[in-house]
A = this chain, B = another copy of it.
């Protein structure tokens, strides 16, 4: 939801030398064979700078093995992300025996700037950490299917209607800590510990994934999910993940805290681009795509989300005149007193929309804005005329903005004075009283 950085440039190289010569970070994602990876590293090292980082996305080969034949093994690390990589923040980071700790730190800083959550592992171990946990569930699931206790769908439901919901925001330990009550984790462990030796999981062997078991799983999976194409499943999954991340962002918790920090960085970058009011031009204050959960039973964006667009546009305008997070913490904020919305056309999920804002007045405690919401194709979707009062957040009473903000707001009002009055300004519904 934050202003995006300008789109970068993607270039396809026709040789490893061409790809790595000027790179400072080289991500290696070739097939999971040690000999292939080692020969690629040898080729990289012939052309890359000696201090360029090399991050392997391997899911299972240890970095000590990967780096064994390298000329500069200290810059080799594993950076292991999770699908869908563009939405899940986790990336496991760790090196081998010869990796320099500074290489891990540099990579961690870099992945954080992408909005990811670098998890530095304490030491290398087969399958790393997250995949070991996944593997444990996978093996137990295979046994339950092989023994006819549950189908793939029943196993999935046992996850997503129960503990899976918990794990999107707290892991197994924090969840169990709550179960222990105020007596804490020690109490929980005293209670739960003895069951550890009960015969609850198949511990002693690994199910053979023979043709029969493979066919059973594949046909159960078809029965469960075969009505959707893979593209449809991806879309459903991604929409749900985006929704979860927005929920967690509101709570400033877990993956949402990471997202909030990323968006703050984007807002800061945008705020550093000097914004001068352009005479006779409304300001662009929002540019997003309609999230899929913003629509309602009528098949279009719900009316409350129109106001959310205008609210976000006001936030964008406030940042432009200096009402940012630090101002709000110390000097005050603008509260909405009155709003008049005119709906002009429908808009559907995933369509690109933008808001422009015209300052009708900005003086003393008052700010008077006129927002226009457009489809990117130019269709006018709605307008909102809004009156705001500047408020001191400790007394919750009306107050005047700081001189800096007042001056900047006045400069926008002056720059917009030449614009024609909007058609919908001063409208009322029905008969005027």
Number of A positions contacting B (CB below 8 A): 160
Chain B min CB distance to A404 (Å): 20
Pick the 8 closest A-B CB pairs, nearest first. A156-B171, A243-B247, A164-B167, A90-B162, A304-B308, A250-B293, A168-B168, A90-B161
Which residues of chain B have C-beta atoms less than 8 A from A218's C-beta?
184-186, 189
A-B contact pairs, 27 of them (CB 8 A): A88-B166, A122-B148, A129-B144, A136-B137, A138-B196, A156-B171, A160-B255, A164-B166, A178-B230, A184-B222, A185-B217, A240-B247, A243-B251, A247-B247, A296-B311, A297-B325, A297-B328, A304-B307, A335-B346, A337-B342, A339-B343, A340-B429, A385-B430, A386-B429, A387-B430, A425-B430, A426-B428
Which residues of chain B have C-beta atoms less than 8 A from A428's C-beta?
340, 426-428, 432
Chain B min CB distance to A144 (Å): 6
A1 in contact (CB, < 8 A) = no
Chain B min CB distance to A355 (Å): 13
Would you list which residues of chain A between 254 and 293 have a CB under 8 Å from chain B?
254-255, 258, 292-293
Q: Which residue of B lies closest to A346 (CB)?
A: B396
Which residues of chain B have C-beta atoms less than 8 A from A339's C-beta?
303, 339-341, 343
A165 in contact (CB, < 8 A) = yes
A154 in contact (CB, < 8 A) = yes
A198 in contact (CB, < 8 A) = yes
A177 in contact (CB, < 8 A) = yes
A24 in contact (CB, < 8 A) = no
Please determine whether B127 and A200 come into contact, CB atoms closer than 8 angstroms.
yes
Q: Which residue of B lies closest to A296 (CB)?
A: B311
A71 in contact (CB, < 8 A) = no
A130 in contact (CB, < 8 A) = yes
A418 in contact (CB, < 8 A) = no
A158 in contact (CB, < 8 A) = yes
Binds B, one of A4-12, A98-106, A201-209: A201-209
Cα–Cα, bound, A220→B237 (Å): 33
Given contacts A121-B150, A135-B200, A336-B343, contact A182 B230 (CB under 8 A): yes
A140 in contact (CB, < 8 A) = yes
Cα–Cα, bound, A339→B148 (Å): 58
A27 in contact (CB, < 8 A) = no
Please determine whether A130 and B156 come into contact, CB atoms closer than 8 angstroms.
no
Which residues of chain B have C-beta atoms less than 8 A from A310's C-beta?
304
Cα–Cα, bound, A31→B198 (Å): 17
Cα–Cα, bound, A182→B305 (Å): 35
Please determine whether A206 and B196 come into contact, CB atoms closer than 8 angstroms.
yes
Within 8 Å by CB of A150, from B122, B220, B225, B303, lies B122
Please determine whether A167 and B178 come into contact, CB atoms closer than 8 angstroms.
no
Cα–Cα, bound, A45→B230 (Å): 52
A377 in contact (CB, < 8 A) = no
Please determine whether B177 and A225 come into contact, CB atoms closer than 8 angstroms.
yes
Q: Which residue of B lies closest to A221 (CB)?
A: B185
Please determine whether A149 and B123 come into contact, CB atoms closer than 8 angstroms.
yes
Most chain B CB within 10 A, of A203, A233, A299, A337, is at A203
Q: Which residue of B lies closest to A302 (CB)?
A: B311
Cα–Cα, bound, A430→B339 (Å): 11
Which residues of chain B have C-beta atoms less than 8 A from A141's C-beta?
133, 172-173
